[in-house]
């Protein structure tokens, strides 16, 4: 029993307990024998995290259940601990290595481990991607702090419950495609999608895990990449470093993963399929015809015949014909119990990062095999027959299989329960058996070679605070401005776009003005009363304090979120990030969108004079409460005396009467004495989306609103005024003062 934040918790699983034996996991300290190579329960990391039980040990790391003292919840901590070269002295938490050669290998692996964590952390907060909360060095090694996922992998779910129905498969595929839309827009390929890297969570979410094989693809011609293979789930272009990889690569792996979930069949490798592709010759399992057509296109051997992007695939999924609907999977209590073999299988891929950290070959579970080799090694282990060119592919023929189990043996065992649906495959089995023998020998040679040679490329940057640029790059400053192309694909609400690193904000001496340019998504699910909006966060999904002009924040969940409402045809939003906020932000700034696509961003030095009235601006005291009555007037002759379009700056104050009132919503409009509304030009806001086109109300948000509202009234609108001039209507705010000046 351990006391944390005034609560008595189990040292192993952190459940609240009132006795020495935990009723949840059965842990009793007096009966527990600690493992000397792991961190002891109760170990503190950085005064932030408490280590609990070991969830699994893999070839390159140990995954612990842990407790976050700040967030007051359980999390997962992965420790970099490669077998064979790392050890601990009894009673010590420090990780040591045997000799200088091992130390060099250890450090290269640690660097790769760290930079992969940096890559994945940019997607924190995405509902379909595992989050990496923190990563740091301690105890002479590297630690990753990840969200703890309570659930079961798709692979284990199918093993327990059998094949998914069409609605369940559609739901899972849609969620993973949403995740890929985000990662691909950031230039990141997963490269290792399979049923054991898709997590079905207890809260109904579906998460893509295990990004250890991920790479950032910065050019369209993505060749000369490391070879990462998982028999049955690897597309043809991934069998050689010269294969051109892209969004279509992940799409193939997802397609065969969903096919497995619907049929319990692991498909043949692409080269075997070239000889005999009877698995996809006909729809012999009764899959919904729309889904079947999508899966066939996803799993084409030739990459050019697949969907070219995740957004194209998602559009296809949305067109699946009725009455089929997506169906979330509900897990039982039995599903949430961790069985040793399942825990070990997940741990073998290092929790949520696979065991490819040192570039070694590791068999994880029953079918995982990954190879990361140099181009010379790929050439070395290709036979003349294997170098046969195939039309439609950019790589050379190269096959490899798990030497412990041939493809036909795996397929046979998987399909026994579906024998009534499975046709004879004797001829193809014979061919695969011969190929498996050759591939097993080649795999053994690769294992030996790769264990000696380590090929690691490290991207610059060692911590979130050092300004390591993610996707936004380090552009040239032109006319005092930094311009970022942030084109991304809409992947559903609550998705993050690309990140602008903290380092770019530090290139300015003071406060920074940010202008986002965006567009609206025509294919977002229409919801009654839906408001397009965005949130401004840092890498750790903390809400950033910014000053937004002419627009406030909605009362949105969670409590700490600040959600800025936007209405068509508004296409840009400007706000100020103070120097203090920039210095404190974790890693960089990213935007969570709701029905939007962020196209670009401009950073420039903030000049308060641009948003302050001129010293000679005419001052009009309004002192009006905007409730059911109109405000006091700005005389027409005063507006006409300016000569031209007039800029009006209003000092406003928000009325907070009852924080529990659902109707706390500030809006404002300019009008004539009759109440007829006038057209005004508002930089950061557009009128509320009411049906009447004559309504020109401007949303100012809820709770958090700007203290100034700035607009331009054109000469043509001034001419429409009667003698009294311009007044205002609105709700839940006071107008105190108006400043009148020439635009």
Q: Express each pLDDT in 620-650 by its tens digit.
A: 888 888 776 788 888 888 888 888 899 898 8
Q: Is residue 355 part of a domain?
A: no
Q: Is residue 347 part of a domain?
A: no
- What CA–CA distance (Å, rounded) separates 154 from 150? 13
pLDDT tens track for 565-581 = 787 777 888 889 988 88
- What CA–CA distance (Å, rounded) separates 535 from 514? 14
| CATH assignment of the domain containing 603 | 2.60.120
Do both 651 and 568 map to the same domain? no
CA atoms within 13 A on the CB side of 80: 29
- What CA–CA distance (Å, rounded) separates 63 from 73? 17
Give residue 487's pLDDT: 64
* Mean pLDDT, rounded, of the chain: 74
Give residue 375's pLDDT: 37
Do both 67 and 193 map to the same domain? no
pLDDT band with cut points at 50, 70 and 90 for residue 322: low
Give residue 688's pLDDT: 67
Do both 264 and 304 map to the same domain? yes
Give residue 296's pLDDT: 94
Average pLDDT over residues 396-410: 34
Q: Which stretch of 278-287, 482-491, 521-530, 593-602 has the lowest confidence by average pLDDT? A: 521-530
Average pLDDT over residues 6-14: 88
Q: Is residue 600 part of a domain?
A: yes
Distance in Å from the first CA to the final CA of the chain: 69
Do both 142 and 159 map to the same domain? no
Tell which of 419, 452, 485 closes a domain: 452
Q: Is the pLDDT of residue 702 over 90?
A: no
Using a cut of 0.75, tell me whether the model's pTM lies above it.
no
| CATH assignment of the domain containing 114 | 3.30.200.20
> Residue 343: in which H helix or E strand, if any?
helix 340-348
Do both 59 and 98 map to the same domain? yes
Strands 666-671 and 698-701, how do they pair? antiparallel
Q: Nearest 5°: phi and psi at 390?
A: -115, 135
Q: Is the pLDDT of residue 541 over 70?
A: yes
Give residue 298's pLDDT: 95
Do both 553 and 698 map to the same domain? no
pLDDT band with cut points at 50, 70 and 90 for residue 430: very low
Q: Is residue 184 part of a domain?
A: yes
| CATH assignment of the domain containing 407 | 1.10.510.10
- Of the two residues 256 and 382, the one the predictor is more confident about is 256
Do both 562 and 590 map to the same domain? yes
Q: Is residue 457 part of a domain?
A: no
Q: Which two tokens stand for residue 291?
A: 């889904």
Ranges of H-type helices in 453-507: 502-505
Percent of the chain residues topping a pLDDT of 90: 19
Average pLDDT over residues 222-233: 67
pLDDT tens track for 550-566 = 877 765 555 556 788 78
Tell which of 81, 113, 147 closes a domain: 147
- What CA–CA distance (Å, rounded) separates 568 from 571? 7
Do both 300 and 263 map to the same domain? yes
The CB-based long-range contact list for 407-416 (8 Å cut-off, 24+ gap) reads: 407/231, 407/232, 407/266, 407/268, 407/269, 407/272, 407/432, 407/436, 408/432, 408/433, 408/436, 410/232, 410/266, 410/366, 410/367, 411/265, 411/266, 411/268, 414/264, 414/265, 414/266, 415/264, 415/265
Do both 528 and 616 map to the same domain? no
Tell which of 590, 609, 628 closes a domain: 609
Strands (E), 113-187: 132-138, 141-147, 151-153
> Residue 429: in which H helix or E strand, if any?
helix 426-452
Do both 476 and 541 map to the same domain? yes
Residue pair 150/97 in contact by the 8 Å Cβ criterion: no
Angle between helices 166-185 and 289-298 (to 10 degrees): 40
Q: Is residue 345 part of a domain?
A: no
Q: Which stretch of 147-161, 274-288, 649-663, 726-740 has the lowest confidence by average pLDDT? A: 649-663
Do both 566 and 638 map to the same domain? no
Q: How many domains does the chain contain in total?
A: 4
Q: Is residue 439 part of a domain?
A: yes
- What CA–CA distance (Å, rounded) separates 172 from 576? 39
pLDDT band with cut points at 50, 70 and 90 for residue 490: low
Do both 556 and 641 map to the same domain? no
Q: Nearest 5°: phi and psi at 670?
A: -95, 140
Average pLDDT over residues 702-709: 70
The whole domain housing 542 covers 464-609
Average pLDDT over residues 593-601: 85
Q: Alpha carbon of 534 to those of 495, 584, 683: distances in Å?
A: 10, 21, 17
Q: How would DSSP label each residue in 674-724?
A: T--B---B-TT--B---S-TT---EEEESSB--SEEEEEE-HHHHHT--TT
Q: Is residue 166 part of a domain?
A: yes
């Amino acid at each position: 029993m351990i006391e944390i934040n005034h609560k008595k918790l189990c040292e192993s699983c952190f459940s609240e307990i009132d006795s020495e034996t935990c009723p949840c996991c059965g842990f009793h300290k007096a009966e527990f024998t600690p493992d000397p190579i792991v961190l002891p329960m109760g170990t503190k990391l950085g005064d932030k995290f408490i280590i609990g039980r070991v969830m699994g040990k893999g070839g390159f790391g140990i995954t612990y259940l842990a407790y976050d003292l700040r967030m007051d919840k359980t999390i997962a901590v992965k420790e970099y601990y490669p077998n064979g070269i790392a050890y601990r002295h009894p009673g010590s938490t420090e990780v040591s290595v045997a000799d200088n050669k091992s130390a060099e290998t250890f450090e290269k692996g640690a660097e790769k481990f760290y930079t992969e964590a940096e890559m994945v952390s940019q997607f924190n907060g995405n509902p379909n991607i595992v989050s990496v909360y923190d990563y740091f060095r301690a105890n002479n090694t590297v630690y990753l702090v990840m969200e703890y996922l309570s659930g079961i992998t798709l692979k284990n779910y199918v093993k327990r419950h059998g094949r998914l129905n069409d609605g369940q498969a559609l739901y899972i595929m849609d969620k993973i495609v949403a995740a890929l839309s985000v990662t691909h827009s950031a230039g990141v390929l997963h490269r290792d999608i399979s049923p054991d890297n898709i997590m079905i969570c207890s809260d109904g979410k579906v998460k893509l895990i295990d990004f250890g094989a991920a790479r950032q693809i910065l050019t369209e011609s993505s060749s000369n990449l490391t070879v990462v293979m998982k028999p049955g789930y690897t597309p043809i272009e991934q069998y050689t470093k010269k294969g051109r990889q892209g969004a279509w690569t992940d799409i193939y792996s997802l397609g065969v993963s969903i096919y497995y979930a619907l049929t319990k069949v692991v498909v043949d490798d692409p080269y075997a399929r070239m000889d005999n592709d009877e698995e996809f010759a006909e729809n012999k399992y009764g899959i919904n015809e729309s889904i079947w057509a999508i899966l066939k296109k996803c799993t084409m051997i030739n990459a050019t015949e697949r969907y070219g992007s995740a957004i194209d695939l998602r559009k296809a999924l949305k067109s699946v014909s009725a009455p089929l609907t997506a169906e979330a999977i509900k897990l039982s209590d039995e599903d949430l119990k961790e069985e040793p073999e399942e825990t070990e299988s997940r741990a073998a891929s290092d929790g949520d990062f696979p065991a490819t950290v040192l570039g070694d070959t590791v068999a994880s579970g029953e079918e995982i095999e990954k190879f990361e080799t140099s181009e010379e090694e790929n050439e070395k282990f290709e036979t003349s027959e294997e170098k046969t060119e195939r039309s439609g592919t950019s790589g050379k023929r190269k096959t490899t299989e798990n030497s412990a189990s041939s493809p036909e043996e795996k397929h046979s065992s998987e399909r026994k329960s579906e024998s009534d649906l499975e046709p004879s495959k004797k001829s193809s089995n014979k061919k695969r058996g011969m190929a498996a023998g050759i591939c097993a020998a080649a795999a053994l040679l690769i294992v030996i070679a790769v264990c000696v040679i380590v090929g690691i490329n490290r991207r610059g940057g060692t911590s979130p605070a050092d300004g390591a640029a993610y996707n936004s790059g380090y552009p040239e400053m032109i006319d005092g401005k930094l311009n970022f192309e942030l084109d991304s694909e809409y992947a559903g609400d609550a998705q993050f776009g690309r990140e602008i690193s903290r380092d770019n904000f530090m290139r300015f001496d003071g406060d920074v003005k940010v202008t986002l340019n965006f567009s609206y998504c025509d294919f977002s699910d229409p919801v009654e009363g839906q408001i397009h909006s965005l949130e401004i966060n840092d890498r750790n999904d903390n809400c950033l304090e910014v000053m937004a002009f002419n627009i406030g924040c909605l009362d949105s969940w969670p409590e700490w979120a600040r959600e800025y409402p936007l209405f068509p045809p508004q296409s840009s939003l400007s706000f100020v990030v103070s120097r203090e906020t920039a210095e404190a932000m974790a890693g960089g700034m990213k935007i969570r969108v709701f029905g939007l696509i962020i196209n670009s961003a401009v950073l420039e030095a903030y000049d308060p004079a641009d948003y302050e009235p001129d010293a000679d601006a005419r001052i009009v005291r309004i002192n009006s409460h905007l409730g059911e009555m109109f405000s006091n007037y700005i005389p027409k002759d005063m507006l006409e005396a300016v000569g031209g379009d007039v800029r009006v700056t209003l000092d406003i104050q928000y009325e907070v009467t009852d924080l529990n009132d659902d109707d706390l919503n500030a809006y404002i409009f300019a009008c004539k004495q009759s109440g007829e509304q006038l057209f005004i030009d508002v930089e950061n806001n557009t009128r509320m989306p009411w049906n009447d086109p004559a309504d020109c109300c401007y949303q100012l948000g809820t709770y958090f609103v700007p203290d100034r509202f700035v607009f331009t009234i054109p000469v043509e609108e001034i001419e429409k005024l009667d003698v009294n001039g311009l007044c205002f209507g609105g709700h839940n705010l006071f107008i105190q003062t108006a400043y009148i000046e020439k635009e």
